[in-house]
Structure 1
Amino acid sequence: MKLSSSVFALLCLICEIVSIALFLRGFFPVPVKSSFSDKSKETDFPAEPQTGSGPNSSKAPVPLFKRVVIVLIDALREDFVFGSDGRRFMPYTRHVVERGSSHSFIAKARPPTVTMPRIKALTTGSIPGFIDVVMNLNSPALLEDNLIWQAKSAGKRIIFYGDDTWIRLFPKHFMEHDGTTSFFVSDYTEVDNNVTRHLDGTLKRDDWDILILHYLGLDHIGHISGPHGSLIGPKLMEMDDIIKKIHASLISKESEGTLPNLLVLCGDHGMSETGSHGGSSEPEINTPLVLISPAFRRKAGFEEPGVLEQVDLTPTLALGLGLPISKNSVGHLISAVFEELSLREQLRLLQINGHQLSRLLQDSNPTFHK
């Protein structure tokens, strides 16, 4: 029995529609998220389990750090710090990694490895989808619970310099900011000079708690000449000098009886062998994460960096600053950061992180109780 041409065409059309629907469902999956408008509060902290005759506290943990400086270098691959390029072009950073009071990790930046979704991941602890690649061109204000909102609500004074994507995502969160556009890819000098020109004056001041710097020059060089071009070395040396300046300033501000400061060096994503990003190749998803603070033990030599998820930084910074963890965060604490605390304090932080993750699972999974 032969099918008529119209029936055959109808079957083909149905198959195409089903195929497109399956593709969209797989490529743009429903994210694991709680309510977008709901925010975590200190009252959400679980009470400590009763132990002996000790008090059953439900208070927030005390902050571990007084000030935090986040240096985000766009398209910073892990081998630019931990590989031979790091030894050649970032000698100060490499010395701190090998001999300083620091913890080093390879942080996996899950695809899409594009700037705006990566900033969302770093601040919310959630994993954005590929639809965010489209939104990257015109980033709307971020309404989802995030680290920046939590810090501002707690009275933290935040300063930002760099990629203006942050200003679009967090339009009223910074007490001071200066954005640079990322669309002039041929410019790898002024985009960074516009950030660094504020640095000396800001580091001398005492009226801020969190400083965020987002440098774009390395990413632009990658797009021009790739990761092995002649411009990469000088740019890494420039970034190394900035790390040295910030670290020296934070050390000079340390005083007896006050909380230590924290310097975070990270990348939003890596860089492919052709200088691009957005995919899931190892050079694109492997980024360095270096945490530097006198609160950590001094290294005796170079240790192979551990591997973790980029979103693990979000709950770690939140509890390090005494803030609630973002409601949609899927990250877990970086235990090395808290290893100098007492065992009870470490368990308390793990309890808070576990409680937040279980609530997220409960909110996003109707069959949670089953």
Structure 2
Amino acid sequence: MTSLINSFLCIFFFIFLCHLAGIYLYGSGFLIASVQSQKKSQCNDPLMTNTLYAHLHPPELCWTTPLFKKTALYLVDALRFDFAFSTEYPPLFDNVTDPNNFKLYHNNMNVFNSLENQYPSRSSKYHFIPDPPTTTAQRVKAMTTGGVPAFIEISNMFNNPVILEDSLIHQFKENGLRTVFEGDSLWVDLYPNQFNNVSTGPSLDIADLDSVDNICDKALQQHQNASDYDIMISHFLGIDHTGHYYVTNHPSMKKKLIEINNILNRSLYSLPEDTLALVFGDHGLTEEGNHGGSTLEEIDAGLFVYDNRKNRKGGRKEVEKITQVDIVPTIAIGMGIPIPYSNMEH
């Protein structure tokens, strides 16, 4: 009887130790926290000022000569690839060719095809792939720092702690670029006192489909031909909220996509010369209107690049996949400022 009890205890403690080991491995692997460096890139960093590119193109401000006078960033929350672009360009997860199978969210945003047809050498479209978690706060952090937030940081999605590591927003201010922002108040939580002008609205009321987008529209019209900014950032929320409140294939989604298309059409065609415009989604949506995970529907966001320099040559006809954090060095080089220190991409 005693040996039976001893055997039972040994098995029990073995299983218990296996559970502890599993919890430890899970916590130290999947729930690992990202390490954030407080170091900032500087204009006089010798690693960059001594490059061949810097010698061939002597910088006017910092690491490189600016390619643009202004940059306009339009973050359209939950702009899935097939929401943005026509059914001629299939998303990664589906290929709908029969018009009888088109959904209400198909073929509503013609501003991109219009610009591409009119200015083929200045326009490009991309699959814009985020790293999970596909939650907005983590995506904004990734697209401004160039780093990849850890999955456990999803716990901060309603807390929005201030970002202290190096970022595009820090570099804009450090290098004297005037930045205006309109849209989701999340940005002001993450980057307080970093913007020259702010127009925001609440972000968590998913039943409110229009308030933040109306704020963006009004601010865009205010700044459109103004000389009071170098960087303009707009963050629309209506598509995301419509998906959450209804589903993706809903009449309200069609209405909202057309509305955003009209706002973008007015703004993109009115931008000052020598401006880089990027229209992009932070993530996609499932058909049920959710996001946060890593399904193809959630990670296949759209990106449209419009370079309105008259001397622009080239352009891409094929649709490529790029990772979201690639946007960070692209913007930094375009405006001639240092690439944030934590940037991990090309």
* TM-score of the alignment, normalized to the shorter chain, above 0.5: yes
- Is 1:118 equivalent to 2:119 in the alignment? no
Task: Encode CA deviations 1:64-86: one digit per residue, 9 max, x unaligned.
Answer: 01111111011110011223378
Q: Corresponding residue for 2:337?
A: 323
One-letter code aligned to 2:154: V
1:303 Cα deviation (Å)?
2.9
Cα distance in 2 between the residues matched to 1:224 and 1:98? 35
* Structure 2: 5+ residue stretches without partners: 88-103
**Counterpart check, 1:261 vs 2:268:** no
Report the equivalent of 1:189: 210
Cα distance in structure 2, aligned partners of 1:266 and 1:93: 12
Task: Letter of the 1:274 partner, please give it.
Answer: E
1:103 and 2:117 are equivalent in the alignment: no
Match of 1:202?
Answer: 223
Gaps of 5+ in 1: 255-259, 333-370
Q: Secondary structure at the match of 1:249?
A: coil
Check 1:266–1:109 CA distance in 2 against 1; reply closer, same or farther (3 A cut): same
Deviation of 1:11 after TM superposition, in Å, equals: 2.8
Contact kept? 2:105, 2:248, Cα under 8 Å: no
Q: Give TM-score scaled by structure 1 length.
A: 0.80
User: Could you say which residue in structure 2 is the equivalent of 1:282?
Assistant: 296
1:310 corresponds to which residue?
324
Please say which of residues 92-101 and 73-82 is displaced more in the overlay: 92-101
Rate the CA distance shift 1:65–1:49 in 2: closer, same or farther, 3 A.
closer
- In structure 1, what is the equivalent of residue 85 of structure 2? 82
Contact preservation (8 Å) 1:65, 1:321: yes
Q: Percent identity?
A: 33
Q: Give, in angstroms, the shift of residue 189 of structure 1.
A: 1.5
Residue of structure 2 equivalent to 1:155: 176
In 1, the alpha carbon distance for the partners of 2:70 and 2:58 equals 26
Please tell me the residue identity of whatever aligns with 2:213: D
Structure 1 CA distance, aligned partners of 2:186 and 2:72? 18
Label 1:322 to 1:222 Cα distance change in 2 as closer, same or farther (>3 A). same
| Equivalence for 2:38 | 37
Residues in 2 aligned to 1:158 and 1:192: alpha-carbon distance in whole angstroms: 19
Q: Which whole-Å CA distance do the structure 2 matches of 1:96 and 1:194 have between them? A: 25
Structure 1 residue 56, shift from structure 2 partner: 11
Distance 1:98 1:284 in 2: 28
Q: Residue 11 of structure 1 aligns to which amino acid in structure 2? A: F
Q: Which moved more, 1:152-161 or 1:38-47?
A: 38-47
CA distance, structure 2, for counterparts of residue 36 and residue 242 of structure 1: 38
C-alpha RMSD over aligned residues: 2.4
Distance 1:57 1:200, change over 3 A: closer
Q: CA deviation at 1:181?
A: 1.7
Secondary structure of the corresponding residue to residue 43 of structure 1: coil
Shift of 1:46: 4.5
- How far did 1:182 drift? 1.7
**2:16 alignment partner AA:** L
Is contact 2:82–2:106 with CA below 8 Å preserved after alignment? no
Measure, in 1, the Cα distance between the counterparts of 2:37 and 2:290: 32
1:178 is the counterpart of 2:178: no
> How many angstroms does 1:6 deviate by?
4.4
Give SS of 1:211's match: strand
Q: Deviations over 1:203-240 (max 9, x none)?
A: 13211111111011100110122211111111111111
Paired with 2:199 and 2:162, the residues of 1 have a C-alpha distance of: 17
| Aligned position for 1:47 | 50
Residue in structure 2 matched with residue 291 of structure 1 by the alignment? 305
Give the alignment's TM-score, normalised by structure 2: 0.86
Kindly indicate whether the alpha-carbon contact (under 8 Å) linking 2:283 and 2:299 is maintained by their aligned counterparts in 1.
yes
For residues 245 and 211 of structure 1, the distance between their equivalents in structure 2, rounded to whole angstroms, comes to 15
CA contact (8 A) 2:58 2:65 kept: no
CA–CA separation in structure 1 for the residues paired with 2:57 and 2:182: 42
* 1:60 alignment counterpart: 63
Q: Does 1:136 align with 2:131?
A: no
8 Å CA contact retained: 1:97, 1:290: no
Q: Displacement of 1:298 after TM fit? A: 7.3
* 1:340-368 superposed Cα distances (whole Å, 9 cap, x missing partner): xxxxxxxxxxxxxxxxxxxxxxxxxxxxx
